[in-house]
Amino acid sequence: MRAAVEKICSRFDDDYWRARDGEGEFPDAFHRALAADGWLGVCIPQDYGGSGLGIGEAAVMMETIAASGAGFSGASAVHMNIFGLNPVVVYGSGEQKRRMLPPVAAGKEKACFAVTEPNAGLETAKLETRAERRGDRYVINGAKIWISTAQVADKMLILTRTTPIERARKPTAGLTLFYTALDRRRVEVREIDKMGRKAVDSNQLFIDELEVPEQDRIGEEGRGFDYILDGMNPERILIAAEAVGLGRAALTRAAAYAKERVVFGRPIGQNQAIQHPLAECWMELEAAELMMRKAAWEYDQGIPCGASANAAKYLAAEAGFKACQTAVMTHGGYGYAKEYHVERYLRESMIPRIAPVTPQLILCFIAEKVLGLPKSY
């Protein structure tokens, strides 16, 4: 798998990604190349046009993409395809799977994932976007933020509130999930000018009277949060794989530069002050990868993997960030120049630290669920 994905990625070199980053243009050619060889359906069941492989395999693919130098510009361009539609795979009806999955596996439709809201942040239960039932349809009103790929997406998986929080059994009940057309007449998509990964847009969505047929509701009304929860661990595992890949791309460049750059009459890489941080990054990336593989194995075996998946996401994001920062420092002033690519990696390495969950919330989770400490939030 690694060799096959590497071969596709080798057609998209660092200059391709630097240009996409500069222009803020979606990497369509890259997306099409992966779709053409069937990679976008890696986790989608074979009956619906995919390969039916596990998260372990998907993680190999995503790590390889990021490590090729595509970083998060490449990984995020396809991330949603890989596991985003898991709620449809698990909870969708036969009719929904036949209708929704094959176009995504074939790369004919792009999907975005609309959960985060400006007034709720990490407290998903507080989301305010309402879906109101009117006859055989729902009408959605509200706002979302940070929704990646909404500029290019045809469809969105959107979490809404159908029962007001005060009337719900518990705060996370009363939320309902839809997979539906992103109708731009009813959804204004406003791009956020952001720090990195300009090739893959992130947006504010303003939703005004969006009509959604009942057939686009995934599973039962009010159980959307449970369905989303199911996909959270695999998503953390894939983000971890992408962060490890990005860190490795940075480390490869740093080591190559340290061998070549001669100052004070010898390669800078002959100095231990240059070598040791790079060696440390290598070890931390390897360790993060092992934790990620443990989590992926547990998930694919049906073993609870919450602690490993969260730990993998945390460790990989921090190791990836450190490798990117070390790569910039190894390059000295040149590290700050776009031509050497590592500054782009450093900007992108912030994304897996923040999304889809922050390091603080992972620490809270481990403290509570693994160590049995009182819930702090």
Ligand X SMILES: Cc1cc2nc3c(=O)[nH]c(=O)nc-3n(C[C@H](O)[C@H](O)[C@H](O)COP(=O)(O)OP(=O)(O)OC[C@H]3O[C@@H](n4cnc5c(N)ncnc54)[C@H](O)[C@@H]3O)c2cc1C
In the complex, which residues of this chain contact ligand X (CB under 6 A)? Answer: 113-116, 121-122, 146-148, 202, 351, 354-358, 360-361, 364, 377
- In the complex, least distance from residue 360 CB atom to ligand X, rounded to whole angstroms: 3
Burial of 334: CB neighbours in 10 Å, binned 0-12, 13-18, 19+: middle
Q: Closer to ligand X by CB, 144 or 293: give it.
A: 144
- In the complex, least distance from residue 248 CB atom to ligand X, rounded to whole angstroms: 21
- In the complex, least distance from residue 56 CB atom to ligand X, rounded to whole angstroms: 24
Structure tokens at 153: 């997406």
Q: Closer to ligand X by CB, 180 or 330: give it.
A: 180
- In the complex, least distance from residue 182 CB atom to ligand X, rounded to whole angstroms: 13
- In the complex, least distance from residue 176 CB atom to ligand X, rounded to whole angstroms: 16
- In the complex, least distance from residue 136 CB atom to ligand X, rounded to whole angstroms: 28
H or E, element range at 115: none
Q: With b meaning 16 or more CB within 10 Å and e meaning fewer, what string describes 114-137?
A: bbbbeebeeebeebebbbeeeeeb
- In the complex, least distance from residue 28 CB atom to ligand X, rounded to whole angstroms: 18
**In the chain, beta strands by DSSP E:** 111-114, 130-134, 137-148, 155-161, 175-181, 187-191, 202-213, 217-218, 262-263, 266-267
Q: Closer to ligand X by CB, 192 or 283: give it.
A: 192
**Residue written as tokens 């995934």?**
218
Report the candidate in 318, 353, 358, 347 with the shortest Cα–Cα distance to residue 200: 347
- In the complex, least distance from residue 122 CB atom to ligand X, rounded to whole angstroms: 4
Q: Closer to ligand X by CB, 191 or 208: give it.
A: 191
Q: Closer to ligand X by CB, 44 or 145: give it.
A: 145
Q: Which of the 8 DSSP states describes residue 21?
A: H
Q: Closer to ligand X by CB, 256 or 354: give it.
A: 354
C-alpha 158: how far from chain center: 16
Phi and psi dihedrals of 24, rounded to 5?
70, 40
Three-point CA angle 92, 177, 179, nearest 5°:
65
H or E, element range at 271: none
Please give the residue whose beta carbon sits closest to ligand X in the complex. Answer: 121
Q: Closer to ligand X by CB, 148 or 180: give it.
A: 148
Alpha-carbon distance of 6 to 13, in angstroms, equals 11
Q: Closer to ligand X by CB, 10 or 119: give it.
A: 119
Alpha-carbon distance of 361 to 339, in angstroms, equals 36
- In the complex, least distance from residue 367 CB atom to ligand X, rounded to whole angstroms: 11
Burial of 8: CB neighbours in 10 Å, binned 0-12, 13-18, 19+: middle
Structure tokens at 213: 């047929």
Q: Closer to ligand X by CB, 121 or 304: give it.
A: 121
